[in-house]
Amino acid sequence: MLVLTRKPGERILIGDNIVVTILDSRGDGVRIGIDAPRGISIQREEVLKAVADANIAATAAQPDDAERIKAALGILPAETAAQSAPEKPATPAS
């Protein structure tokens, strides 16, 4: 890792097409500006981690997921279907 000390207004060049400019220093934080080509993704690490964690949590199965899906599709469990099925009318004996 390269560690640099910069003052507001000073720049750091990364390769031929990325420029990081120190905009301001406030207490514990430093404001920076980044100029990069559109094709280069610039993400804050904490946001990327939060999205990844949310995606992992969304894929985790919950104990009642199958029942909720069945209910949404109108599919009843076998024991519930048997209980709610209309009774067949008695056929007269011949």
Q: What is the span of the domain harbouring residue 42?
A: 7-59
What pLDDT is stored for residue 64 in this prediction?
A: 83
The bridge status of strand 18-26 relative to strand 11-14 is antiparallel
DSSP assignment of 26-55 equals ETTEEEEEEE--TTS----HHHHHHHHHHH
Is the Cβ–Cβ distance between 8 and 22 less than 8 Å? yes
Task: Grade residue 94 by pLDDT with cuts at 50, 70 and 90.
Answer: low
Q: What is the mean pLDDT of residues 77-85?
A: 55
Assigned domain for 35 exists:
yes
pLDDT at 87 over 70: no
pLDDT for residue 3 is more than 90 = yes
Please check whether residue 68 lies inside any domain of the structure.
no
Q: What is the pLDDT of residue 77?
A: 64
Residue 73 covered by a domain? no
Helices and strands in the chain: count of H runs, count of E runs = 3, 3
The answer on pLDDT for 92 being more than 80 is no
Total domains, the chain? 1
User: Does residue 51 sit within a domain?
Assistant: yes
User: Is the model more confident about 70 or about 52?
Assistant: 52
Q: Can you tell me which residue has the tokens 């514990």?
A: 28
Cα-Cα-Cα-Cα dihedral sign, residues 80, 83, 84, 89:
positive
What pLDDT, in 10s, does the model give residues 5-50? 999 999 999 999 999 999 999 889 999 999 999 999 999 999 999 9
Kindly state whether residue 80 falls inside one of the protein's structural domains. Answer: no
User: 35, 19 in Cβ contact below 8 A?
Assistant: yes
